[in-house]
């Protein structure tokens, strides 16, 4: 398979996953008897952005999706394919004390794809653990998310590429080695406006899955 053919297939897979998240959002919203305006009021996201996500035009980040999930009385995992199981189920992670997990490099990590962003879970579940550590690959292009505030804290460290991170209406360009740490109640969003993939270590609270 040539490079262009493989790239075309990858782009098609991304669009299918993006459409799947939006389609589930629309189905869950209608099951709750909510209009887009009602979901916008409950989630804090704009009607236009939610409409674009439902139609597969825009992707939605996990933290914003967490707000939508809460508004629809769903878990974030409900918006993804059934085969995208928890890390414990997929890798057979041994149960450890509730205050501790250990994830080996050889562990098959769960990945979630939402539009241009692929999230790799970096640790197993722990009932008394609050942090959600993720490795995030952000493909170039796509539409920018609305700036969004939610409960908790957020940390992002750029490993590769560049990241445009908006915090409270101010844009900051991050390069490899740069990081940002904020209270997530402040409206924020991140976007890759370059031609290459950006890789970020992200840690958020509360846990999303």
Q: State pLDDT tens for residues 119-147.
A: 998 988 777 888 999 999 999 976 677 78
150 or 167: which carries more pLDDT confidence? 167
Average pLDDT over residues 146-159: 91
User: How confident is the model over 82-121, as pLDDT tens digits?
Assistant: 544 444 444 444 455 667 888 888 887 788 887 788 999 8
Contacts of 20 (CB under 8 A, 6+ apart): 80, 81
Give mean pLDDT, residues 20-40: 93
Q: Which residues contact 116 (CB under 8 A, 6 or more apart)?
A: 14, 59, 138, 139, 140, 141, 142, 192
Provide the percentage of residues in the chain whose pLDDT is more than 90. 44
Which residues lie across from 199 on neighbouring strands?
137, 160
Of 159, 162, 160, 163, nearest to 61 by C-alpha is 163
Tell which residue, 135, 149, 148, 153, has the closest CA to residue 198.
135
* pLDDT at residue 75 is higher than 90: no
The contacts of residue 41 (CB under 8 Å, 6+ apart) are none
Task: Quote the CA–CA distance of 51 and 71 in Å, as a whole number.
Answer: 15
How far is 198 from 140, CA to CA, in rounded Å?
8
Decide if 44 contacts 25 (C-beta within 8 A): no
| Separation CA 126–CA 82 (nearest Å) | 21
Site of tokens 């409270």:
168
Q: What is the pLDDT of residue 97?
A: 61
pLDDT at 5 (0 to 100):
47
Provide the pLDDT for residue 96: 55
What average pLDDT does the segment 47-69 reach?
88
> What pLDDT does residue 36 have?
96
Going by DSSP bridges, is the β-strand pair 163-167/170-174 parallel, antiparallel, or unpaired?
Answer: antiparallel
pTM, full prediction: 0.74
């Amino acid at each position: 398979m040539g490079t262009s053919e493989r790239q075309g297939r990858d782009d098609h897979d991304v669009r299918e996953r993006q459409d799947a998240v939006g389609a589930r959002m629309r189905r869950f919203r209608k099951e709750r008897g909510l209009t887009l305006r009602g979901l916008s009021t409950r989630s804090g996201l704009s009607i236009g952005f939610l409409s674009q996500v439902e139609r597969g035009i825009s992707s939605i980040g996990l933290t914003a999706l967490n707000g939508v999930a809460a508004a629809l009385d769903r878990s974030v995992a409900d918006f993804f394919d059934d085969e995208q199981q928890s890390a414990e189920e997929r890798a057979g992670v041994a149960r450890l004390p509730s205050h501790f997990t250990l994830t080996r490099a050889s562990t098959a990590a769960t990945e979630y794809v939402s539009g241009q962003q692929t999230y790799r879970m970096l640790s197993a579940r722990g009932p008394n653990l609050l942090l959600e550590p993720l490795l995030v690959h952000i493909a170039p292009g796509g539409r920018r998310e609305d700036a969004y505030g939610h409960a908790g804290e957020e940390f992002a460290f750029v490993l590769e590429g560049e990241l445009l991170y908006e915090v409270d209406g101010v844009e900051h360009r991050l390069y490899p080695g740069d990081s940002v740490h904020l209270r997530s109640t402040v409206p924020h969003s991140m976007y890759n406006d370059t031609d290459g993939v950006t890789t970020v270590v992200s840690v958020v609270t509360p846990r999303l899955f």
